Structure 1
């Protein structure tokens, strides 16, 4: 059974295709499935306009010949450009089925829709100057551009750009999503992304797109403690902790307390601010989850508050300043399986330095850090990665770019703590928080502030009931 959510590396995709071939599906049949499936999307966006298909020498180019012939047979005007002869048997067969002419350059090609089938996924070498120029020219002279599997010049496994890659309007993933469909800088070139099913079997070991969650209303007999008690451990800087606490109040937990050594005159009436001795406050047996980091500070007093929270042994979200204080000493005697860390790029780099992680790329570093520490890692940013110590890896659909605003990370941390109080599962809490955060950003609208997002959380939550 195929899975619409799995994310396969280039090697995993080759293995998946090999498994289909070993089970009796020919390469030609796979190419027809991919090309005809992609042609359905191109047919819709073309809306009668002429189509130019750029075919490379490999099987991605073969997909292009199938797309071209499918569209030609439906009555569209189609031009095929192929700067090189097909280099595989399946691509040659696909070209032989094409009943139009083949041009070798882009002379005179312009108009409606450009379809890039030059290389697609699996490319590891830089694009040549000639190929860069050809892609740029065709993209510039067509009203709409479609990439098949991936834009030519994008590295499949890490989303790196292997040359000057134009921006596309639509990218059609063939068979399964690839890491580059979710990673910067490739993400900035893809436009909308859609999946074309070719029958690839689901793999239990594959990474996945974290599915849209379903949350529920409280039980009829629920009260504030059974819904989850969240403590936000604040420090000397009140703003970030207050923002995170307000977010947590709207994330589903029944009771949120701001545990702070300073006054918070701007705190809403519904938020309980506790100025008591932290060790005594944390002795309450009813805590469901803690959040440590926003507004904490990085001095000795902040480290003491972090260690006091970790020693409590309840599920905990670590964000912001806590990530600059975290080390092996702070984790000594602590169950890391209860901890969720939410670093941005700079904090992820700091954690990797602290724990001796030398991996390259966001995905590799997040996975290595989770494995090294036992902590669940939510590496946030314009591309967000969720990695657990047991090897699970999840990607997320892109969120609104307006989220690149001060304080939105504190909002995400508060949501994660609220969801953690409900489930006790760091991986699940992180996934739910990212989806809620993204939806709240959409509902808050353009030029949003973190306060706008907090105000939108309750309405966003309703979208997942």
Structure 2
């Protein structure tokens, strides 16, 4: 499925290559800058009609050129406009120099701007191409504007944000609105960038789609149904419970059974035909008294598990929620190396001393393993990748997926789902109130339920994260894990 341009994610480097190819194709690059600046001005006038002054802050590159065009358009519309620049604008080159030459008013050094009530700031200092810490004079301006609580319209990306990672490079504007062009960047979706962009507008300035798509590798995008829906099995008229797969969730001891039941119910609601909790003998009575639609099977040790595994209909397993970390978890996991496995929580931690043992067990054949680490668990399995400050969250998830031959759900408010082949999706539909006890158990259950039905590991992981966010939206603020399970809906 071909996604609309606005749904693609291009890195700042890829977008720079798009701009370069557009110019090489005899497209009027200044005309593109003119459209970008006009779009910013239109947004400013549409959303801030009561502004007393539009204060345009222009940087030393093409982002600043967009700002000079916006300043001219705002002035021609009759607005009061003030212009401030970073560095010596006489040193501008190319289209930015032309935009500066056409500026409507003289500007001042950016350090001289004193915010006033009624101002609306247009931030055209750096945009998405910044890769170094912002200079001190910009840090000071950001602080003054933030203290004055003045609305900010960011051009492309709030200055101070890394467009590839969404990380703050020393200091960054908190924009009320961000106007970007042709496509979004990863920094628009990854945190904290997403929170600092405010409302995001993607404006088509006329670069041909063929050029944009040529530089979009198709491997990175936002996690939406368009990315995976065709790979998720749908129920037909002849569907019965055995066709929809058998999911098994391992339970912990008698005092740690709730997490497994939460995962099991989520898997059932996500569409698995049958769900069984594999329980140690000492927890059988606890689980039996609290299960209805979920079946129960005694599995005490590795030997009893291997006997049970002679039943090939048991295709998908969840290990980790409430299970306990240690040798038993490792034994069970390795016994499941030829099956589909969602490894969560204690299951992940159990391999902290020898993660390669886990990776080797699932290295051959199609991807069968889904790992669901949060920040700390990720660092236990992939300490060197977690410590690599040159990698964004997307880069870390992709590197981990390739190493582990697994689909990775690098959890958080901006969860990243990655596949061994380099595909990665950034999730943006999760409400903040999902951060509650048991939420991860529900996520593991949804993913397992989708895999049991035959969804490939990466697509099951991505769809599971999205459905988890949707359930959180439906359950609402103050949800508990029980509320979340009740709100899970199949595709």
Q: TM-score normalised to the size of structure 1?
A: 0.90
Matches within 5 A, 1:289-328: 289-310=316-337, 313-326=338-351, 327-328=355-356
Residue 212 of structure 2 corresponds to 201
- Of 1, 6, 9, 1:7 maps to 9
Q: 1:68 and 1:225, CA in 2 relative to 1: closer, same or farther beyond 3 A?
A: farther
Residue 186 of structure 2 corresponds to 179
Residue 450 of structure 1 corresponds to 481
Structure 1: distance between partners of 2:74 and 2:242: 60
Give per-residue Cα distances to partners, 1:241-285, cap 9 Å, x unaligned.
Answer: 111111111112222211121231563411112224322333322
Does structure 1 conserve the Cα–Cα contact (< 8 Å) formed by 2:327 and 2:350? no
Query: 2:467 aligns to what SS in structure 1?
Result: helix
Give per-residue Cα distances to partners, 1:305-360, cap 9 Å, x unaligned.
Answer: 222222xx23221111111234333444533611111111111111113x888643
Give per-residue Cα distances to partners, 1:364-418, cap 9 Å, x unaligned.
Answer: 3222222222112111112211221111122122521112212111111111111
Residue 54 of structure 1 corresponds to 57
Matches within 5 A, 1:28-427: 28-50=30-52, 51-86=54-89, 87-104=92-109, 105-107=112-114, 109-141=116-148, 143-198=150-205, 199=207, 201-202=212-213, 203-213=216-226, 214=229, 218-236=235-253, 237-261=256-280, 262-263=283-284, 264-265=287-288, 267-276=290-299, 277-310=304-337, 313-326=338-351, 327-334=355-362, 335=364, 337-353=367-383, 359-360=388-389, 361=391, 362-397=393-428, 399-427=430-458
Q: 1:436 and 1:108, CA in 2 relative to 1: closer, same or farther beyond 3 A?
A: closer
Structure 2: distance between partners of 1:357 and 1:293: 21
Q: 1:268 and 1:167, CA in 2 relative to 1: closer, same or farther beyond 3 A?
A: farther
Does structure 2 conserve the Cα–Cα contact (< 8 Å) formed by 1:111 and 1:141? no
Query: 2:453 aligns to what SS in structure 1?
Result: helix
Query: 1:41 aligns to what SS in structure 2?
Result: helix
Does structure 1 conserve the Cα–Cα contact (< 8 Å) formed by 2:339 and 2:368? yes
Count of residue correspondences: 457
Does structure 1 conserve the Cα–Cα contact (< 8 Å) formed by 2:261 and 2:277? yes
Gaps of 5+ in 2: none
Q: 1:356 and 1:364, CA in 2 relative to 1: closer, same or farther beyond 3 A?
A: closer
Structure 1: distance between partners of 2:308 and 2:41: 62
Query: 1:322 aligns to what SS in structure 2?
Result: helix
Q: TM-score normalised to the size of structure 2?
A: 0.85
Worse-superposed segment, 134-143 or 240-249: 134-143
Superposed displacement of residue 433, structure 1 = 1.0
Structure 2: distance between partners of 1:72 and 1:265: 73
Gaps of 5+ in 1: none
Structure 2: distance between partners of 1:269 and 1:306: 27
Worse-superposed segment, 237-246 or 98-107: 98-107
